[in-house]
Structure 1
Amino acid sequence: MPNNLMNRRSFAATALVGLTAIALPLPAFALTEDSAKQLVNSVVADITRVIESGKSEKAMLRDFQKIFVQYGDVPIMARYALGVEARSASSAQMRQFTKAFEGYISRKYGRRFREFIGGEVSVRNARKIKAGYEVRTSVKLRGSAPFEVTFLVSDKSGSGKFYNMFIEGVNLLLTERTEIGAMLDARKGNLNQLIKDLGKTG
């Protein structure tokens, strides 16, 4: 597969991880196969509405951040992305990192949503897994063959939210963890500096 197409798919799929808006709360006992599929359908529909809104990029990025917070289990994702450093981080540092991560993901992938114009995302099926449900979708962007994107949905935080995605088997949250780890290494392990810089990155 050409690198540019793989990069395009990776950004497109990760954008769906990182960004999602206004699903009904799903109590822990209420998460079912149907509600997990409904959540993913809502993610796709809300992102599409923002893309087609005609707003400025700045306004759309704000909307994408709201979507990410609503549908994504941001604290879980942020802790995973930070990796082992999360164990030694203070509560204040984790709050600050989570907020910086939220904005970073929204900006980084929100800017790539133009690639979804004219594309289609359809939910295929869902199955129970240990941590919740795996929801498989088929994504077709203009000029490319359909490819599979899988959402992992859980209600461990008290409501149904997605906490990871895979594109053609590639763990996108793990990819983000690797990138953030490299950022931290470049700052000689200074988490406070990473938090500061992450707030301006993406």
Structure 2
Amino acid sequence: MTAISFRTTVLAVFMAIGLSAGTALADGVDAAKGFIQTLGDKAVSTIAATQQDEEARLRQFRSLLNDNFDVPGIGRFVLGRYWRVATPEQRDEYLKLFEESIIRTYARRFSDYSGETIAVEKARKDGEDFILVDSVIQRPTGGPVAVTWRLLGQGKDFKIVDVVVEGVSMSVTQRSDFASVIQSGGGNIEALLKVMRERLGKA
């Protein structure tokens, strides 16, 4: 993923964490569009409120991430075929490290927010359980960036399961990165866990 795409992905995630997924929503694609638009509008105040306090930022981000994203589901997808061969203990540690990694990585980049706004364009069904919401992030400098959100419908609620920036899936990209680390370690998931622990200072 390019530097611009990664930064835009981070900003897209920031803009998607400002509203609890528990908000009652009507069913259908229109509700999904409203969900994403409201998240983008609300996230600005969330970012501003925690800009100067790192500990508060981490706490808020952890809560909002778990409320709005299907973190365990994304984690399992990212691990790919290695999820099936991992032991229960490895799975448990991996999901904890995965969540912590996302929280710390994105929380450190809150300062990158510089006035971006999101405009939702359209939404469409993706199979029985998913909805794709197309949007454009307008930047104060540089051109607009296309972002597609993949939502899992859960009754009247939604969970974000992927963010696609300019055609590049955040989940697929991370899945490829993790697979590369495991393969370099002889196909052993412990190689990935070791790298994740080191990056989080848990080695």
Distance 1:185 1:79 in 2: 17
Alignment TM-score, normalising by the size of structure 2: 0.81
Cα–Cα, structure 1 residues 99 and 69, in superposed 2: closer, same or farther, change >3 Å?
same
8 Å CA contact 1:33, 1:127 repeated in 2: yes
User: Out of 61, 81, 90, which is 1:84 matched to?
Assistant: 81
Q: Are 1:140 and 2:138 matched, yes or no?
A: yes
SS at match of 2:3: helix
8 Å CA contact 2:21, 2:157 repeated in 1: no
Distance 1:134 1:47 in 2: 20
Distance 2:90 2:154 in 1: 22
Distance 1:173 1:45 in 2: 24
1:41-52 to 2 correspondence within 5 Å? Answer: 41-52=37-48
User: Out of 35, 47, 52, which is 2:31 matched to?
Assistant: 35
1:18-167 to 2 correspondence within 5 Å? Answer: 20=17, 21-24=19-22, 31-53=27-49, 54-130=51-127, 131-155=129-153, 159-167=157-165
More RCO (CA 8 Å, sep 6+): 1
Distance 2:139 2:99 in 1: 26
Which residue of 2 is the match for residue 183 of structure 1?
181
Cα–Cα, structure 1 residues 16 and 93, in superposed 2: closer, same or farther, change >3 Å?
farther
The answer to which of 75-84 and 123-132 deviates more is 123-132
Identity %: 25
Alignment TM-score, normalising by the size of structure 1: 0.81
User: Out of 166, 175, 196, which is 1:198 matched to?
Assistant: 196
Cα–Cα, structure 1 residues 107 and 158, in superposed 2: closer, same or farther, change >3 Å?
farther
Distance 2:97 2:69 in 1: 15
Distance 1:56 1:186 in 2: 38
**Unpaired runs of at least 5, structure 2:** none
Structure 2: which amino acid aligns with 1:185? Q
Distance 2:170 2:155 in 1: 21
Kindly report the root-mean-square deviation, in angstroms, between the aligned alpha carbons of the 2 structures.
Answer: 2.8
SS at match of 2:160: strand
Structure 2: which amino acid aligns with 1:69? N
The answer to which of 100-109 and 9-18 deviates more is 9-18
8 Å CA contact 1:64, 1:110 repeated in 2: yes
8 Å CA contact 2:8, 2:165 repeated in 1: no
SS at match of 1:55: coil
Distance 2:89 2:27 in 1: 31
